[in-house]
Amino acid sequence: MTVQEGAAVVDLIDQPRRSKRSIRGNGRFGDIALRVVAGLVLLYIFVPIFVIVLFSFNKPAGKFNYTWQGFTLENWADPFKYPALAEALKMSLEVAALSTLIALVLGTLLAIALVRQRFRGSGAVDTFLVLPLTAPEVVMGASLLTLFLDLGWATGFTTILIAHVAFEISFVAMTVRARVRGFDWTLEDASMDLGASPTRTFFRVTLPLIVPGIVAAAMLSFALSLDDFIVTYFVSGSTVTYPLYVNAATKAAVPPQIDVLATAILVISLVLLMAGTLYRRKRIAP
């Protein structure tokens, strides 16, 4: 081997090392840039939430709680000062609870059926399952309103409940489906081989193993129902939910109790999320 050939071999060996160091350097810069962008995005998302929490302690001079006047705890001492606001929040909670319960049952059964069984038309069911997730809410709200009017139904609590169940089923089914896909179906076979009935197997084996997915779907469904405005606006009639009340209040008066109740909902949601996370870590920990 000549000196030139040896030098060429050394260059070929050292080239991956040099390129690796170069890539590592660029990767470090990209990682810093990615962190900065992520921080700015999170700041953009959380600033409105921080403003709501801050203005729940504001003492406005007029009817509109838009400018900071001074710190006070009076708003939190009487969060249900306005009966119409309290009634609207109660209506939203009732709709969210009932629609979540119905969508949870139907969506969970649908997810299990789509994963466990392959049947004619399952592809079409998958397509229709994704449509409520991709279709604009204006289209869905207008379509449901047209359907209810064609059927001669008076819009109100019932139509709101049906509309919320209609779009919540897709979210529940997709969330539970992700959990069910990793399920070991031989556990059901083993249970039935030991003498358990299909019903007992479902409630004692299948259901406990997919509970994390069901809980996640329930929390997502409840949150979507609680803050839905567009679909509810089309099918509500004279019924007023919390988002509808807030929208109407911007034209007449915006009391700080709106921010108080919104902050309370946020705090309760965070507490439930933390409790669920801690419970899950406790179960996973050896």
Amino acid at 149: L
Distance CA 164, CA 47 (A): 29
Is the pLDDT higher at 286 or at 27? 27
For the chain, give me the number of helices (H) and strands (E)? 12, 0
Closest CA to 199 of 209, 188, 212: 188
Could you tell me the pLDDT band of residue 215, with boundaries at 50, 70 and 90?
confident
Which residues are registered as beta bridge partners of 254? 64
Full set of structural domains in the chain with CATH = 82-254 (1.10.3720.10)
pLDDT in tens, 119-163: 777 777 777 888 888 888 899 999 999 999 999 889 999 999 999
Could you tell me the pLDDT band of residue 4, with boundaries at 50, 70 and 90?
very low
Distance CA 57, CA 63 (A): 15
Asked if residue 222 has pLDDT above 60, the reply is: yes
Asked if residue 100 has pLDDT above 90, the reply is: yes
Look at 63-72, 159-168, 217-226 and tell me which has the smallest mean pLDDT: 63-72
Quote the pLDDT of residue 242.
Answer: 92
Distance CA 253, CA 269 (A): 27
Whether 221 contacts 215, CB under 8 Å? no
Distance CA 19, CA 22 (A): 5
Could you tell me the pLDDT band of residue 285, with boundaries at 50, 70 and 90?
low
SS3 227: coil
Highest mean pLDDT among 3-12, 194-203, 240-249, 265-274: 240-249
The tokens 């090392």 sit on which residue? 17
Mean pLDDT of 229-242: 91
Q: What is the widest separation between alpha-carbon atoms in the chain?
A: 94
Q: How many whole angstroms from its chain centre is CA 246? A: 21
Q: What is the pTM of this model?
A: 0.79
Mean pLDDT of 79-88: 90
Is the pLDDT higher at 160 or at 26? 160
Asked if residue 21 has pLDDT above 60, the reply is: no
Could you tell me the pLDDT band of residue 63, with boundaries at 50, 70 and 90?
confident
Could you tell me the pLDDT band of residue 22, with boundaries at 50, 70 and 90?
very low
